[in-house]
Amino acid sequence: MRIEIVVFDGVDEMDVMGPFEVWSHAAKRTDLELALVGADGPQDVTGMNGLQFRAPGGLGTPDALFVPGGGWMNRAEHGSWAEARSGRLAERIAEVAPGLRWIGSVCTGSMLLAEAGLLKGRPATTNRSAWDELATHGVDVKQNRVVDDGDVLTSGGITAGIDLALYVVERQYGVQTADGIAATMEYTRDRDVLITQAV
């Protein structure tokens, strides 16, 4: 299974690096492949807190796509709010979504999923500060840390992406593998997962 994490200037570093850490461990134990990608090709990224890193490839044809957030609440010049305003990232997400096994998000990455038209009428969550705004997109907003709606998985603010990533590992490869990775990371899992559809 190949997971691509799409990144952009102003992204919240923890939204990216938490799940990246989890799935990097999973890639050493399973058939999972992981890549950081830009929407339209390789991209040098400066995160919202100044961390600079590179996505070496562009969005391709993965099995799963993960969308982080950052910079939404303060309407930052760079980040998920700016990406939603430009429309290009939401357009790319909508283009690849039909071919995915699942698409996921952490924090206000779910706002980008909503902008792409993927959450209307569906249960989802986001950063608690954006719950009301997410609801304006016709989303059935849940207050759980992770919401599994089958082919759409969303999670709450910032560190909730770690729990979503571990849940994905559990769903795909079993609880023993997920718990083993959490133990390696010395991370205590939050198992507040709402499952609304069986996979």
- What is the per-residue pLDDT across 166-180, written as a single tens digit (0 to 9) for each? 999 999 999 999 999
From the candidates 107, 124, 134, 160, which is the catalytic residue?
A: 107
Region 100-122: what's the mean pLDDT?
98
Distant-in-sequence, close-in-space partners of 141: CB < 8 Å, separation ≥ 6: 123, 124, 125, 126, 131, 134, 135
Average pLDDT of the chain to the nearest whole number: 97
Q: Are strands 146-148 and 152-155 parallel, antiparallel or unpaired?
A: antiparallel
Rounded mean pLDDT, 183-191: 98
What is the predicted pLDDT for the residue at 198? 65
Determine how many CB atoms are found less than 10 A away from the CB of residue 22.
Answer: 26
User: What's the whole-model pTM score?
Assistant: 0.97
Residue linked to tokens 């058939």: 31
Q: Are residues 146 and 160 in contact, defined by beta-carbon separation less than 8 angstroms? A: yes
Asked whether the predicted pLDDT for residue 50 surpasses 70, the reply is: yes
Per-residue pLDDT, averaged over 145-168, amounts to 98
Q: What's the longest Cα–Cα distance across the chain?
A: 42
Reply yes or no on whether the pLDDT at 77 is more than 80. Answer: yes
Question: Is 107 designated active site?
Answer: yes
pLDDT in the model for residue 118:
98
The confidence score (pLDDT) of residue 197 equals 79
The correct answer on CATH 3.40.50.880 for the domain covering 2-195 is: yes
Instruction: Name the residue among 89, 93, 106 with its Cα closest to residue 21.
Output: 106
